[in-house]
Amino acid sequence: MCGIIGYTGSRPSAPILVEGLRRLEYRGYDSAGVAILDPGRTPLTVVTRCEGKIAMLAAKLEAEPVTGTSGIGHTRWATHGRPCEANAHPQRAGRVCVVHNGIIENHAKQRAGLIERGRVFMSETDTEVVAHLIDEIYDSAAGDRAAGDRAAGNGGAGDLAAAVREAISRLDGAYALCVVHDEHPGQLVAARHASPLLIGLGGAQGQLDLEETFVASDVAAILEHTRTVVDLDDGDIAVVDPSGILQLLDAEGRPAKRGRRRIEWSPLAAEKQGFKHFMLKEIFEQPRAVRDTLSGRLPQFRGSDAQAQDSLDFADLSGIDFATLADHHKITMLACGTSWHAALAGKYLVEQLARIPVEVDLASEFRYREPIVRAGDLVLAISQSGETADTKAALQEAQRLGAVGLAICNVVDSSIARAADHVLYTHAGPEISVASTKAFTTQLTMLTMFAVHLGRRTGALEAERANALLDGLREMPVAIDAVLGVQAAIKIIARRWVAARDWLYLGRGLSFPVALEGALKLKEISYVHAEGYASGEMKHGPIALIDENVPVVVLALEGPGYHKTLSNLEEVRSRGGKIIAVASSGDDQIGDLADDVILVPRVDPFLQPILASVPLQLLAYHIADLKGTDVDQPRNLAKSVTVE
């Protein structure tokens, strides 16, 4: 997730672009840049970029000012290529500059073709591929015009929108693009597919005094200047200049009209897209985050068609040689906090789907118990930030003992990612709230793909079963959306139990790590005592705590162990306990046993942890909000624990 802003008008563009990027910095902060069309320069478009935060870009522009009243800007959350100036946006090719949010899945194939045709690349990014494609197509079209007419000005500038349209027709994946070209001063071309992009209207179209137009990935970037916006639909291409929208085409290339909307949010609320807290916003970002984790990693075949593919063409995980990794006799997973809960679920998944033994260690304890690690063992380190000191130290100790290091991280080129021998990125986007939500569900998503791929490599998982699981992952964003749709009912439950001081969370099998995570979320942001237990362990101690004042959250999803879980509910009821059940849609038994029921869509039992964690996040959030705690920055906690 990156931040995009474009401006064209009569005012100096640099300050507007930089301030817009500051308001988008929550979307990415490892590099930034602007491309400004300066009439006094050759080439016309001046690109200024730097590694680091927006303050560094502002300082660079102050030292080396660029004039001009139109341009584009970008703050980056790295996906392809490490954070550095060369990989920062805008990316230039010839007379074209591009900023991009999203992931181009077929960038490697397109890059190879462009190199064969003589194009030279200066970065590792998928975005530079887009810039080269547009420049190549535009120049090819220009070559078809008579050279004399063009030199005399009779032919005019080429059709930049047509070049953008042709370029994106060759792309697979998600993108929001804003493009400028030296031959089109004052014009911006915007295009989107599966990534948000909007146009802000000033002048006569926006009922403001100034004629100026904006392009942005988020209203936060432009709210200081206009509150009238037009949201682009998937497949749209728009050409804008200071007077407004010159051309708007839909995915079929037909002229289109999109409605305007008035934004009433404050700038701070805009950064949160209208949500009260970043945590709630990030909970609602999970369908997109899971989709981005899956993007480009699943085979194109689905259902019965999948039988036509190679029997091992499952879950492409960044070119890692899993034929070798599947030969390891043991996997050790290292993590802390929420990531440790994801690792516990990963143990269930890998052992059951791939039949490889897995040990899960708290990274903070690993080095201090003289761990048994043999040369060739596989060690998997899991960390949202990639900077968790305990996890990095544990990974390095395992590598010192001869293990192969694999990391699952959200932040590209983070310390753990650099230390590992192999890395899998979740692409969840920046997570601002201290309490982790979308990082957890994307880690579970990645671990499921990891387990499916290993299962196919070891031969423990049949192709038909693997296909069913991958099809379920494809549908997971829709299922999460359905859970988010019952937020109002979860808030009612939260209000009913907001005064409770002690909570129990119970889960069996793959639901046990979710119970632990649900309890942790409540503790972190509500400062309420909560404990997670395996359901079968309730009789071995926790049952002594149960009375009418202790709500018991039970993960009672249909699948293996369901009937034993119902027996646990009966035991809680017989002791006066109050039950909040998370159950599968259509369950006609659970209503007779639970005081409150949260229904989630039916999914494969191996996919239930991803889905079942979402209502527990919402429950914890609403209890904390009702209590009035600082949800995004709970006391005594930091987002990334970078010291032991």
Q: What is the CATH number of the domain that holds 15?
A: 3.60.20.10
Give the mean model confidence (pLDDT) for residues 258-269: 80
Chain segment 118-176, per-residue pLDDT in tens: 999 999 999 999 999 999 999 998 776 544 454 444 446 799 999 999 999 999 988 99
Active-site residue, from 2, 97, 178, 409: 2
| C-alpha–C-alpha distance, residues 389 and 467, integer Å | 37
* 471 and 499 both lie in a single domain: no
| Contact of 378 with 404, CB cutoff 8 Å | yes
To the query of whether residue 2 is one of the catalytic residues in this protein, the response is: yes
Does 82 score more than 90 pLDDT? no
The residues, any chain, with a CB within 8 Å of residue 575's CB and separated by 6 or more, are 543, 546, 547
271 within domain boundaries: no
Q: Does residue 95 sit within a domain?
A: yes
CA 571 to chain CA mean position, Å:
40
Tokens of 594: 């639970």
189 and 160 assigned to the same domain: yes
Residues 360 and 225 reside in one and the same domain? no
Strands 502-507 and 422-425, by their bridges, are unpaired
The strand pair at 529-534 and 502-507 is best described as parallel
Using 50, 70 and 90 to split pLDDT, how confident is the model at 203?
low
Q: Is residue 589 part of a domain?
A: yes
427 plus 412 within the same structural domain: yes
The Cα–Cα gap between 134 and 393 comes to 45
| Together in a domain, 636 and 590 | yes
Domain housing 376: 276-479
Location of structure tokens 């590992």: 420
| Cα–Cα dist 137/437, whole Å | 42
Residue 296 has pLDDT above 70, yes or no: yes
Residue 408 covered by a domain = yes
Region 503-531 average pLDDT: 96
Closest CA to 573 of 590, 557, 598, 561: 590
Q: Are residues 243 and 334 in the same domain?
A: no
If asked whether residues 558 and 413 sit together in one domain, one would say no
Catalytic residue among 53, 330, 627, 639: 639
- Is the pLDDT score of 319 beyond 60? no
pLDDT, residue 328, reads: 62
Whether residues 306 and 257 share a domain: the answer is no
Q: SS3 of 52, please? A: coil
544-571 confidence digits (pLDDT tens): 888 888 899 999 999 888 888 888 888 8
End-to-end Cα separation, the chain, in angstroms: 30
| Same domain as 405, residue 328 | yes
Helices (H) and strands (E) in the chain, counts: 21, 24
- How many structural domains is the chain composed of? 3
Q: Mind listing the pLDDT tens digit for each residue in 368-411?
A: 988 989 888 899 999 998 888 889 999 999 999 999 999 999 98
For residue 155, the model assigns a pLDDT of: 47
Does pLDDT of 202 surpass 70?
Answer: yes
Strands of the sheet containing 244-249, edge to edge, are 91-93, 96-104, 173-181, 188-193, 237-241, 244-249
Residues 206 and 132 occupy one common structural domain = yes
Sign of CA dihedral 279, 280, 283, 288: negative
How does pLDDT run across 104-121, given as a tens digit for each residue?
989 999 999 999 999 999
460 and 496 part of one domain = no
Mean pLDDT for 223-235 is 91
The answer to whether position 622 is within a domain reads yes
- Where does a domain end: 479, 510, 542? 479
Of the residues 433, 459, 479, the one at which a domain ends: 479
The per-residue DSSP string of 224-273 comes to TT--EEEEPPTT-EEEEETTEEEEEE-TTS-B----EEE----HHHHHTT
Q: Which of 447, 483, 469 is nearest to 582 (CA)?
A: 483
Whether residue 208 contacts residue 200, with contact meaning beta carbons closer than 8 Å, is answered with no
Give yes or no: residues 321 and 466 share one domain: yes
In this structure, is residue 269 part of a structural domain?
no
Where among 432, 451, 479 does a domain terminate? 479
- Give domain status of residue 270, yes or no: no
207 within domain boundaries: yes
- Calculate the average pLDDT of the chain: 89
CATH of the domain at 393: 3.40.50.10490
The predicted model scores a pTM of: 0.80
